[in-house]
A and B are shown apart, each in its own frame.
Chain A
Amino acid sequence: MPLDAKIPSGPLPQKWERHQFHLKLVTPANKRKYRIIVVGTGLAGASAGASLAELGYQVEAFCYQDSARRAHSIAAQGGINAAKNYPNDGDSIERLFSDTIKGGDFRSREANVYRLAQISNAIIDQCVAQGIPFAREYSGYLATRSFGGAQVSRTFYARGQTGQQLLLGAYQALMRQVEAKRVTLHPRTEMLDLVVVDGVAKGIVVRDLVTGNISVHAADAVVLATGGYSNIFYLSTNAKGCNVTATYRAYKKGALFANPCYTQIHPTCIPMTGDYQSKLTLMSESLRNDGRIWVPKRPRDQRAPNDIPETERDYYLERKYPSYGNLAPRDIASRSAKAACDEGRGVGSSGQGVYLDFSDAIKQLGAHVIEERYSNLFEMYAHITGEDPYRVPMRIYPAPHYTMGGLWVDYNLMSNVPGLFVIGEANFSDHGANRLGASALMQGLADGYFILPYTIADYVVRRAPEQGKTDHPEFAKTCAEASSRTKRLLSIHGKKTVDAFHRELGKLMWDDCGMSRSEDGLTRALACIPSMREEFWKHVNVLGGGEEFNQALERAGRVADFLEFAELLCGDALERRESCGGHFRVESQTPDGEALRDDTNYCYVSAWEFAGVGQPPRLHKEPLQFESVQLAQRSYK
């Protein structure tokens, strides 16, 4: 299958503008004849839904939450990047672009990333106009702060709740269109499958989570904005409901899945505690602006942190990466934390933790400044651990947080299945092998507000509007398949709960396909997953019926898909015998333990084609060509 990324010709800075001019338009009177399905109402989905409706399209928006406002973008804490250069510290579109390419360890598409940097400024403008209460200086102008992987201050923020505020802005814009009757909202509705007719995406199958009713919806284009798959690890910073089902089902219907092994383990999360822990909580990367990370120099040092003198502490990020220090990128900070703990220098009862210490910042700036910057994070930490981070250093440890991999899309954000668009975390396009902090919000909103509304027009205008017709037999067939799958899950009556399977899978993935990966570990995982899946379909216990509100059934469907998707993820990790960004193969490292890329053999996007459950998927390669940046070993030293 030839992979055409449809990257426009011309010099990088002019590609998007030229492309926009060449994209076909739909006349205003015709837009309302086209119906567009948007699945997911996070930053990408809500911004796309609102913007498309403003233009005049009929939008059908779906989310599994009870309200569009609760999508998991709401939990993003630290901020959103833009190349405004308001602080006059040397930022530019060029620099945001090159930081993002370098941060992604040279595994993303130049043209996409350049466009992202170009659009970043318009996002801030749009969000200010919507009334997002960004942090301000006394002048009344916008304040910024620094994030990992950057030496400039380009991150705009609303306390530690930037994602919440940006999402509420997009949600409110969406609700305005609901009022205008151009958006029909379907909350508590989960997508179970994609309907593909003659190779073209035509609609979706959904389950009403309240009544259990399974139905079909047709549209002239389907947009997936369904987020990432970190919950494959069971414990992650994602919301409990986040899942891979929508993108995985699309993959099974022919869409290519790109770089599934690029998963991000975030360095600053509250460490694990008991066996019944249900999720891990992120402590924003912004804390690394003022907090210093350290472990005791001596292994198994049992003293309380405040009793360990300065000379016996190892501020390992400052030591190893003097020019970026505590603001080293996420993948590097995570691996360094793991290395310190592996040496027996981890802290806390489990030994799986490092200190994030604010005492110097409090001395320097005063507790009130720290409180103004991070109060909600400090409170959250205190609630969960019962410790006061103003007095005792926080304990943190890496946790699965974000997935750079996702469905393959071209420059227009359309997958290889015509009519299927994929935006936000659900696609693979902009972050390469590692995402920089405060770039997820930027990408989600760039896709939804400013890219998709242009590119989708060029697709729909070439086809006659179909007015949501669902009479093609493929609709009934896909719907029947989804129903029978649901019935099958309910008829097993096994002995093991859904969560027990999910925990087991999560542990396997964390151990063998987590922060460090090896040929042996991945081979072992690939051997275990099929039998785990078989056991699931024999022994899972899902009570209740299908025609009712049934949360165990919802989870069962999602875990069933994770159990298939796990094989794809491990297979991709095994095939990529190099280390890059968040993907660390122990066989491929520099003498001082840094990730060692292999540009000769692996400078490509791995796009996988489904070939049947349990069958090895087919690999398609999209070579990555760099015109503007020089491929180099990343150095944050």
Chain B
Amino acid sequence: MNLTLRVWRQKDAKDSGRFEVYQATNISPDTSFLELLDVVNEELTQRGVDPIAFDHDCREGICGACSLTINGVPHGPQRATTVCQLHLRQFNDGDTIVIEPWRAKAFPVIKDLVVDRSAFDRIIQAGGYISVSTGSAPDGNAIPVPKDDAEDAMDAAACIGCGACVAACPNASAMLFVAAKVAHLEKLPQGKVEQKRRVLKMVEVMDQEGFGNCTNHYECMAACPKSIHVKFIAKMNREYLKASVSSP
């Protein structure tokens, strides 16, 4: 396959950035999208051009590092797929492909396609856990969890924290990310104990970090590589309301 790539290049956070055009020739359709960037980078290096910076690590769709907007869509055209799992057979020979970083105020660009997503860590830090210290747990089977609840919790817990939901949202809202953690822990008896405190604190930090609000576009769910459902946002809103009216 031959492809034309329009890639966002930005030297550092202060640089204003621009698109550069690169050609990729004679690439197998079985190549993954990140391997395509590897090939381009090898050629750029040989030509003495600074290779394109992009986040990636596990390359099997679970670490959540990769974060490219391809033709305007976070993680590209294939549903429920991270960029690292996207293969060129999803494109046509001769295509022009536009590659950008996540675009959101709360995710400032570090270099080229790499952004700073530490805001997500700070949201989890605010309360995205069960406050149990090592050693204080009862026997695993002392806490039965209905199978359906465990499945529901797992559906929410499958979030990989990549930030595609934010990049896809016209408001750059982080509601799906936050809701997934709130819902995962609320679904389980272990997590119910500190649910009120958790939802209030996580939402407070989410707002502080500069993410927008949810206005029901559902772009987040469409872009989510793990298909996290927007029903969890409704769940979080309900939990938030309950906590707000009952808290002192």
Q: Which B residues, 21 to 65, have Cβ-Cβ distances below 8 Å to chain A?
A: 27-28, 30-32, 34-35, 38-39, 42, 45-46, 48-51, 53, 55-65
Q: Which residue, of A51, A168, A500, A552, has the highest number of chain B Cβ atoms within 10 A? A: A168
Q: Which residue, of B120, B126, B132, B190, has the highest number of chain A Cβ atoms within 10 A? A: B132
Residue-wise, chain A 473-496 has the 8 Å CB interface mask toward B (1 for contact) of 000000000000000000000010
| Residues in chain B near residue A552, CB distance under 8 A | 45, 51
Task: Indicate the size class of the contact surface on chain A.
Answer: 35 or more
* B117 in contact with A66 (CB, 8 Å): yes
Q: Is B245 among interface residues, defined by CB-CB distance under 8 A? A: no
| Residues in chain B near residue A147, CB distance under 8 A | none
Of the stretches B92-100, B140-148, B211-219, the one at the interface is B140-148
Q: Which residue, of A50, A51, A122, A240, has the highest number of chain B Cβ atoms within 10 A? A: A240
Q: Is A124 among interface residues, defined by CB-CB distance under 8 A? A: yes
User: A66-B65, A380-B61, A543-B50 are contacts. A141–B129 as well, Cβ < 8 Å?
Assistant: no
* A126 in contact with B134 (CB, 8 Å): yes
| Residues in chain B near residue A65, CB distance under 8 A | 57, 63, 65
Residue-wise, chain B 145-168 has the 8 Å CB interface mask toward A (1 for contact) of 111001101100110110000000
| Residues in chain B near residue A274, CB distance under 8 A | 28, 30-31
Cα distance, A383 to B45, chains bound together (Å) = 29
Q: Is A370 among interface residues, defined by CB-CB distance under 8 A? A: no
* B57 in contact with A240 (CB, 8 Å): yes
User: A126-B134, A136-B150 are contacts. A68–B121 as well, Cβ < 8 Å?
Assistant: yes
Shortest beta-carbon distance from A568 to chain B in Å = 26
Q: Is B16 among interface residues, defined by CB-CB distance under 8 A? A: no
Shortest beta-carbon distance from A51 to chain B in Å = 4
* A133 in contact with B85 (CB, 8 Å): no
* B57 in contact with A72 (CB, 8 Å): yes
Of A70, A173, A279, the residue contacting B64 (CB under 8 A) is: A70
Q: Is B125 among interface residues, defined by CB-CB distance under 8 A? A: yes
* B117 in contact with A131 (CB, 8 Å): no
* A140 in contact with B134 (CB, 8 Å): no
User: A142-B140, A240-B56 are contacts. A70–B28 as well, Cβ < 8 Å?
Assistant: no
* A72 in contact with B140 (CB, 8 Å): no
Cα distance, A94 to B248, chains bound together (Å) = 53
Shortest beta-carbon distance from A333 to chain B in Å = 20
| Residues in chain B near residue A386, CB distance under 8 A | 30, 87, 89
Cα distance, A164 to B156, chains bound together (Å) = 13
| Residues in chain A near residue B191, CB distance under 8 A | 131
* A86 in contact with B141 (CB, 8 Å): yes
Of the stretches A21-29, A175-183, A302-310, A464-472, the one at the interface is A175-183
Of B27, B45, B129, B190, the residue contacting A541 (CB under 8 A) is: B45
- Dominant secondary structure of chain B at its interface with chain A: loop
* B38 in contact with A499 (CB, 8 Å): yes
* B51 in contact with A133 (CB, 8 Å): no
Q: Which residue, of B32, B34, B57, B80, has the highest number of chain A Cβ atoms within 10 A? A: B57
* A134 in contact with B150 (CB, 8 Å): yes
| Residues in chain A near residue B150, CB distance under 8 A | 133-136, 140
Q: Is B184 among interface residues, defined by CB-CB distance under 8 A? A: yes
Q: Is B20 among interface residues, defined by CB-CB distance under 8 A? A: no
* A175 in contact with B125 (CB, 8 Å): yes
Of the stretches B1-9, B108-116, B228-236, the one at the interface is B108-116
* A549 in contact with B53 (CB, 8 Å): yes
Shortest beta-carbon distance from B11 to chain A in Å = 8
Q: Is B188 among interface residues, defined by CB-CB distance under 8 A? A: yes
Shortest beta-carbon distance from A582 to chain B in Å = 22
Shortest beta-carbon distance from B206 to chain A in Å = 15
Q: Is A589 among interface residues, defined by CB-CB distance under 8 A? A: no
* B60 in contact with A380 (CB, 8 Å): yes
A-B contact pairs, 7 of them (CB 8 A): A47-B134, A70-B57, A165-B154, A175-B125, A277-B35, A386-B89, A541-B46
A131-B190, A278-B32 are known contacts; what are 6 more A-B pairs with Cβ within 8 Å? A54-B133, A125-B139, A133-B184, A139-B144, A173-B132, A500-B42
Which residues on B are within 8 Å of A, measured CB to CB? 12, 27-28, 30-32, 34-35, 38-39, 42, 45-46, 48-51, 53, 55-65, 78, 80-81, 85-87, 89, 110-111, 114, 116-118, 120-121, 124-126, 128-141, 143-147, 150-151, 153-154, 157-158, 160-161, 184-185, 187-188, 190-191
6 closest A-B pairs (Cβ-Cβ)? A140-B144, A129-B137, A172-B129, A133-B154, A125-B137, A133-B153
